[in-house]
Amino acid sequence: MNKFPAWLNTLVLLILLAGCLFALPNLYGSVDAIQIASTDDAPYAEDKLDEFVAAVTAAGVSPQASYLQDGRVVMRFDSVDGQEIAAEALKDAYSREASVAKTLAPALPDWMRKLGFRPMSLGLDLRGGVYVLLEVDMNTAIQSRLAGYEQSFDDRLREARIRHRVDIDGDTVKVRLTSPEDLERARDIIGRADQDLLIVDGADGKSMTVRMSAAQIQERQDFAIEQNLTTLRNRVNQLGVAEPLVQREGVDRIVVQLPGVQDPNQVIDILKATATIEFRMVDPSGDEPGSRRYAGRGEEPSQVLKRKVIASGDQIIDARMGQDQGRPIVSITLDSAGGESMLETTMNNLKKPMSTVFIETTRETITRNGVEEQLTTRTEEIISTATIQGVFKDRFQISGLAAGEAAELALLLRAGALAAPVYPIDERTIGPSLGQDNIDRGFNAIKIGFLAVIVFMAIYYRAFGLIADVALFSNLVFIVALLSILGASLTLPGIAGIVLTVGMAVDANVLIFERIREELSGGASPQAAIDSGYGKALSSIVDANVTTLIAAIVLFALGTGPIKGFAITLLLGIITSMFTAIVGTRTIVNLVWGGRKLESLPV
């Protein structure tokens, strides 16, 4: 009685060894490092790694280790000074082709890194780094959608040969006709453009007001958030920042956390940058409806441009910085819709001028009558005007920018245009010392709780208590191993979840051991008491843990940020504690006392 087959004992042992192996990388800690990513997102090869190492060595420092990871170059250093010197040397030599980020990297041996083992990542509150809270300008998101309706209505009514004027008025689009007889037909045309629009006829009988419905406004706001999330993730990835967290918070805010980043200025500037471009035809006569004058940048003259946008930043799928006769250029690739529009425009406008408009939105705080107000400024400047010499579609070049502007614009366009401007409302740089202090406090809490439980179990349940202590230690190992395998970030709330798990993990063994005591008191033999203890306590253990498991799943599904961190560790802790408390301890008990004639049990 109470003997597991050899294959089951072996399986439990292999699972324990695997847990120890995957948890092992967490013992090595992190060191100062730099990470280098190509600005065109192309993976680096070994020859480029050697070139970067040579550049750093020439600057007077030697990396502790250097290697390729996910197509990027990582260099580890023994000191912050070495990291600083290497980062500056690489930025000076490769500013146009590479993004250099100062960060922290795990100090793993080469054999462990090559096998793919990695430690669990630490959240911003533990590792230090950059925290940015961004507010999405929802009003601009709605206005950009109204601008799309304005151009669509204008094109449709012109094709139907209805004389008209279309203008944006606040949060509505005003459509004015010259003849009342055209009102019914114009309403049908606009209604077919989007059936959800709300159309109200004007009192004069020859105008109408078009308004977005509440559902459309909500849909547009959600789109702006989701598009900006995607764009910001792309920007962070192209900067070479490791383990970023970009997520929505509330109705109109986005949280960006960059653990380990020690040089926040460039990252913050790229995150909040709103630069994009539009391509418009020049209106030489200056009297076409909707045309207006745009200022020129530098020596570029001002021009009157047509209202219709040929292509814009959100239709750009690739952008690369280059050189043409010593001048910085950005090579553009459009998506299919933008390419078709550009093809049609160039076919119909040979030998006519087309301008590239650079657009940037900024916000500043001003004080008016003693009250602080947010002033939003939209700058639109012509950076280049060129005559269309031939027909082209989705590939062409733009010029008129300085080298730094061209590199930044290429990165922004390649990462995708923001659906609406974002403005930082909270920026914090958390130092590594604060993160280490949080780590020390959190792990001290785990140690104290762990030791207290170990001492209590050993005194109260004797040898069986020591077996429960082994299971408790194994449970911690499994939690760390699973966090490492899943790539989940450990945060302060996550540590709280582990501390809670330590206290809860022995509950199952307490139920089992108390049941064994009851069976022994009732006159059962030691072997029968062990079998009954594990068998009869199982249903109570499962019920108690399943209810907690449901709560953890709900917290993970509905929570954000810190709540998710707590839920993940609690969820993993429940699963691992069920295994260690039931299967793990039963395996040891069976190996020590199973299949033997016993007079008593040390429980």
The full set of domains in the chain, from first to last, is: 6-24+435-593 (1.20.1640.10), 30-107 (3.30.70.1510), 139-217 (3.30.1240), 276-403 (3.30.1360.200)
Give the model confidence (pLDDT) of 93-121 as tens digits. Answer: 887 677 787 777 888 888 888 888 888 87
Q: What are the angstrom distances between the C-alpha of 522 and each of 460, 469, 515, 529? A: 20, 27, 11, 9
pLDDT of res. 435: 59
Contact 381, 409 (CB under 8 A): no
pLDDT of res. 350: 92
In the structure, what pLDDT confidence band is assigned to residue 432 with cuts at 50, 70 and 90? low
- Mean pLDDT (the chain, rounded): 84
How many CB atoms neighbour CB 32 within 10 A? 24
Determine the average pLDDT of the residues in 216-220: 90
Q: Checking phi first, is residue 186 left (phi over 0); if not, alpha (psi -120 to 50) or beta?
A: alpha
pLDDT of res. 434: 57
Give the model confidence (pLDDT) of 470-526 as tens digits. Answer: 888 898 899 999 988 887 778 778 888 887 887 777 888 888 888 888 888 888 888
In this predicted structure, the answer to whether residue 242 has a pLDDT above a threshold of 70 is no
Cα 444 to Cα 446: distance, rounded to the nearest angstrom: 5
The total number of residues written for the chain in this structure? 603
List the Cα angle 204/210/211 in 5-degree steps: 135
Q: Checking phi first, is residue 34 left (phi over 0); if not, alpha (psi -120 to 50) or beta?
A: beta
pLDDT of res. 265: 66
Phi, psi of 363 (to 5 degrees): -130, 135
Beta partners for residue 169, in sequence order: 172
In the structure, what pLDDT confidence band is assigned to residue 266 with cuts at 50, 70 and 90? low
Percent residues over pLDDT 70 in the chain: 95
Contact 160, 181 (CB under 8 A): no
Determine the average pLDDT of the residues in 50-79: 89
In this predicted structure, the answer to whether residue 348 has a pLDDT above a threshold of 90 is yes
pLDDT of res. 243: 65
Determine the average pLDDT of the residues in 386-405: 83
Contact 56, 90 (CB under 8 A): yes
The closest alpha carbon to 530, from 541, 542, 519, belongs to 519
Most confident of 38-47, 186-195, 317-326, 503-512: 186-195
Cα 6 to Cα 587: distance, rounded to the nearest angstrom: 11
Percent residues over pLDDT 90 in the chain: 13
Q: Give the CA count within 13 Å in the CB-facing half-sphere of 339.
A: 11
Comparing 85 with 276, the larger pLDDT belongs to 85
Cα 53 to Cα 77: distance, rounded to the nearest angstrom: 12
Cα 78 to Cα 63: distance, rounded to the nearest angstrom: 8
Beta partners for residue 387, in sequence order: 353
DSSP letters for 244-296 = -EEEEETTTEEEEEEET---HHHHHHHHH---EEEEEEB-SSS-STT-EEEEE
The stretches of 24-137 forming alpha helices (DSSP H) are: 46-58, 80-94, 110-114, 124-127
Contact 101, 240 (CB under 8 A): yes
Segment among 131-135, 322-326, 553-557 with least mean pLDDT: 322-326
Cα 51 to Cα 4: distance, rounded to the nearest angstrom: 58
Give the distance, in angstroms, between the CA of residue 600 and the centroid of all CA atoms in the same chain: 58
Contact 177, 186 (CB under 8 A): yes
Determine the average pLDDT of the residues in 330-349: 90
In this predicted structure, the answer to whether residue 263 has a pLDDT above a threshold of 80 is no
Cα 239 to Cα 100: distance, rounded to the nearest angstrom: 7
Evaluate if pTM is beyond 0.75: no
In the structure, what pLDDT confidence band is assigned to residue 45 with cuts at 50, 70 and 90? confident
In this predicted structure, the answer to whether residue 552 has a pLDDT above a threshold of 90 is no
pLDDT of res. 294: 94
pLDDT of res. 172: 93
In the structure, what pLDDT confidence band is assigned to residue 1 with cuts at 50, 70 and 90? low
Residues 6+ apart with CB under 8 A from 7: none
In the structure, what pLDDT confidence band is assigned to residue 241 with cuts at 50, 70 and 90? low
Determine the average pLDDT of the residues in 342-366: 87
In this predicted structure, the answer to whether residue 571 has a pLDDT above a threshold of 60 is yes
Quick check: helix, strand or coil at residue 297? coil
Strand blocks (E) in 458-581: 489-490
In the structure, what pLDDT confidence band is assigned to residue 238 with cuts at 50, 70 and 90? low
Determine the average pLDDT of the residues in 555-572: 81
pLDDT of res. 433: 59
Determine the average pLDDT of the residues in 129-136: 85
SS3 content of the chain, % helix, strand, coil (to 5): 50, 25, 25
Number of H helices, E strands in the chain: 17, 23
In this predicted structure, the answer to whether residue 92 has a pLDDT above a threshold of 60 is yes
Give the model confidence (pLDDT) of 434-465 as tens digits. Answer: 556 767 777 787 788 788 888 888 888 888 88
Determine the average pLDDT of the residues in 557-568: 78
Determine the average pLDDT of the residues in 562-571: 83
pLDDT of res. 70: 79
Beta partners for residue 461, in sequence order: none
Contact 566, 555 (CB under 8 A): yes
Cα 406 to Cα 328: distance, rounded to the nearest angstrom: 7
Cα 249 to Cα 328: distance, rounded to the nearest angstrom: 39
Q: Checking phi first, is residue 351 left (phi over 0); if not, alpha (psi -120 to 50) or beta?
A: left
